Amino acid sequence: MTIEKALVVGTGLIGTSVALALRDKGVAVRLTDVDVLALRLAVELGAGEVWTGEKVDLAVIAVPPQLVGERLADLQKQEVARAYTDVASVKAGPIADAVRLGCDQTSYVPGHPLAGRERSGPAAARACLFSGRPWALCPGSETEADAVRLVRDLVSMCGAKAVTVSAGEHDTAVALVSHAPHVVASAVAASLSAGDDVTLGLAGQGLRDVTRIAAGNPLLWRMILAGNAVPVADVLERIAAELVTAASALRSGDLDELTELLRRGVSGHARIPGTPVSPG
């Protein structure tokens, strides 16, 4: 049994992109959103039809992390789907909410597609957004195999690669590879307020790359960071300590440790999958 009809709850960037990808695979997609304008735009973009309460095979909950548990509880109470997943970029919080609200854990497969854009909203959605990207799945001990199978079908239809991890591992991992780097990029971009237009005129591609993700929606990122606060704080403090040490080294003129940081940076960068190892 596979996905013939799906419901996407929340027609922002991620939800609408999921809907478009499923439509491309011939799935009947129903959409709902508390934001009527976003819902109408997603329908106009061909992402699916407005949901009128009918049953579906899979419900994809694409709302901010803090609202996932509540929405899951509502949908399960109406017995809307055979399986449920979400796309929130943190996992421990939504799962704890679901437990607290007495949700059925057997049909819920917490998920997180590692994909995004600086733009948000349905107009920025693309069917190919997840193509080749990792998609974390965090099934618990109670999750039924059928539910996992259905959500893996979703991941596969979106062209992504399923990666199974525990919720705790996931949150620590994304703090390191996504959430803390976002805050650091914001801090670098914010530091540019100290520069005049001549200074900014000397900026190059390097600065553009370092700060690109800082263009993301501040309110969306506030919610993401709030949902993963301690792991992110841990990484930020480690990076801040490296920068303070580097600054001291520059002031003292003893640059061996700084050179070592630059070397560790080269090694760390080379470990990112898809990074070509520079031959030169």
Binding to its own copies by residue 101, rule CB under 8 A? no
**Region of 21-29, 43-51, 53-61, 171-179 interacting with its own copies (CB under 8 A):** 171-179
CB-nearer residue toward its own copies: 26 or 253: 253
Around 39, how many Cα atoms within 13 Å sit in the side-chain half-sphere?
17
Strands 81-86, 28-32: pairing kind: unpaired
Binding to its own copies by residue 66, rule CB under 8 A? no
CA 267 to chain CA centroid, nearest Å? 25
List the structure tokens of 166: 């525990």
Q: Could you tell me if 42 and 62 are in contact, meaning their C-beta atoms sit under 8 angstroms apart?
A: no
Map the footprint of its own copies across residues 238-277, applying CB under 8 A: 238-244, 246-248, 250-251, 253, 255, 258-259, 261-275
Binding to its own copies by residue 145, rule CB under 8 A? no
Binding to its own copies by residue 195, rule CB under 8 A? yes
Region at 159 (left for phi over 0; alpha for psi -120 to 50; beta for the rest) = left
Binding to its own copies by residue 76, rule CB under 8 A? no
List the structure tokens of 204: 């190059």
In angstroms, give the least distance from the CB of 215 to its own copies.
5
The binding track of 102-141 with respect to its own copies, each residue x by CB under 8 A or -, is ------------xxx-xxxx-xx--------xx-x-----
Binding to its own copies by residue 209, rule CB under 8 A? yes
- In sign, the C-alpha dihedral spanning 147, 149, 155, 158 is negative
